[in-house]
């Protein structure tokens, strides 16, 4: 039995000796160095290049926080499904940042009376307000105003123009 153990130990040693080593992981490359020069063009040493900055979420087109306009269907104040994630993202941001404030500016297209459109713009702003509050945003963080048809985003008398004017703008203060 002892003889078998020695044979097994010898075979295991030979097998392990023949196995290749795992590849070594190269070290992280050193930071990029940029020669620092004086106005004369003479090199005065090196400085490390700054690390790339993360995009501001309000400027990153892939981040829903960069969307500040919620569009509505004709004569409606219900938030369209394509804007639910946008409003929820603003709600989560505001709930985490209690010092931030927004003004919700409601708008309508030119169809309808001035009074009706003021009311419709207000209903749209209140609809966004309610959804923000569901995310934990406090009343003190939100104000609303309705401009009705008075501040069109796009001038014109077509469905394309009207669709751009039926909106709530989220304005951080």
* All domains of the chain in start order, with CATH: 64-172 (3.30.1330.60)
Check residue 16 and give left, alpha or beta (phi > 0: left; psi -120 to 50: alpha).
alpha
Distance CA 88, CA 68 (A): 12
Residue 40 has pLDDT above 60, yes or no: no
Q: What is the pLDDT of residues 56-65, one digit of tens each?
A: 889 999 999 9
Please provide residue 160's backbone torsions phi and psi, each rounded to the nearest 5 degrees.
-60, -45
pTM metric for this prediction: 0.69
Helix ranges (DSSP H) in 50-97 = 84-96
What pLDDT does 41 receive?
A: 53
Q: What is the pLDDT at residue 56?
A: 87
E-assigned strand segments in the chain: 33-37, 43-48, 69-71, 102-107, 142-148, 167-172
Please, which pLDDT band fits residue 54 given cuts at 50, 70 and 90? confident
Contact yes or no for 133/139 (Cβ under 8 A): yes
Least confident window among 53-62, 66-75, 132-141: 53-62
Q: What pLDDT, on the 0 to 100 scale, is given for residue 49?
A: 60
């Amino acid at each position: 039995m002892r003889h078998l153990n020695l044979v097994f130990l010898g075979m295991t040693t030979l097998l392990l000796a023949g196995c290749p080593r795992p590849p070594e992981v190269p070290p992280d490359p050193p930071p990029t160095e940029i020669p620092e020069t004086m106005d004369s063009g003479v090199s005065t040493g090196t400085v490390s290049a700054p690390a790339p900055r993360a995009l501001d979420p309000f400027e990153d087109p892939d981040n829903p926080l960069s969307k500040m306009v919620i569009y509505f269907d004709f004569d409606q104040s219900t938030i369209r499904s394509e804007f639910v994630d946008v409003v929820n993202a603003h709600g989560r941001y505001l709930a985490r940042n209690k010092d931030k404030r927004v003004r919700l500016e409601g708008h309508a297209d030119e169809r309808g009376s001035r009074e009706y459109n003021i009311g419709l713009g207000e209903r749209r702003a209140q609809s966004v307000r309610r959804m923000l509050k569901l995310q934990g945003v406090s009343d003190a963080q939100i104000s609303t105003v309705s401009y009705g048809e008075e501040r069109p985003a796009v001038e014109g008398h077509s469905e394309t123009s009207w669709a751009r004017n039926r909106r709530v703008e989220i304005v951080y203060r």
